[in-house]
Every structure is written in C-alpha cells, then in structure tokens.
Amino acid sequence: MPSQCPHCMTEIHAEASICPACGAVRGVWGRSVESWRRASTFMLGMAAFFIVAGMVFGTWVASDYSTTWFDGLIGFLLLSPFMLFSGGVGLFLRYVIPRMPEGWYR
C-alpha cells in the first residue's frame, strides 16, 4: 500500500524514508530513526567511558595507603549517576524510540 506525504500529498513508496517531492523525513520526534540510533551509540559510548573512568578513579582512590577498597567503591559510585544517566538515555534512544509511531517531518 503506497503511503502519502502529509505535507505535499505526493504518493511515496511504503519503504521510503524521505519524500522525493518536498524532502520531508520519516521519523520520530522530528528526526529519522537512523539519527536516533547514532545518538544512542554516542550515549552508550559515554556510559562505557564513565564506567571505565569510575573503575580507574576507584582504583586510584583505593591505591593510597590511607584508604581501603571501600573508599575506592565510594569513588566508583560517585561517578555512577553519569553511567546510569548516559546508559539510560542511550538504551531509551536505541530500544524505545524505534518502536514509537513514525511521522513525517519537514
């Protein structure tokens, strides 16, 4: 079933993601699903970075003669909000956005 561009009423191939007549883009919240996927890759990369940074920081804190592994754990947890935030946003962009109903944006 061919679909129709809501902006210029041109008939569009059902698989097409861009209207050939007016350039409207199929997507969610004004962006194509592909660009959301790229953003999610970036956010998941940020989460991985903060996890590694937290481990390095925690190890550094615990390595001092006056601190224990528990102090290192606290140091790691200090960075956990950043891990949870970027990881949560990344997972949302990757798995929730593509399941939302798509619209046409120009």
The CB-of-4 to Zn ion minimum distance in angstroms stands at: 9
Distance from the Cα of residue 45 to its chain's centroid: 9
The answer to whether 93 contacts Zn ion (rule: CB under 5 A) is no
CB of 80 to Zn ion, least distance (A): 46
Terminal C-alpha separation, the chain: 22
Q: What are the tokens at 61?
A: 């804190």
| DSSP codes of every residue in 50-62 | HHHHHHHHHHHHH
* Two structure tokens written together for 86: 């970027």
Among 3, 7, 33, 102, binds Zn ion (CB under 5 A): 7
Nearest-CA neighbor of 103 among 29, 18, 9?
29
- The contact mask relative to Zn ion for 16-55 (x = CB under 5 A, - = no) is ---x-xx-x-------------------------------
Report the nearest approach of Zn ion to the CB of residue 31 (Å): 17
Residue 8 as a binder of Zn ion (CB under 5 A): the answer is: yes
Binding site for Zn ion (CB under 5 A): 5, 7-8, 10, 19, 21-22, 24
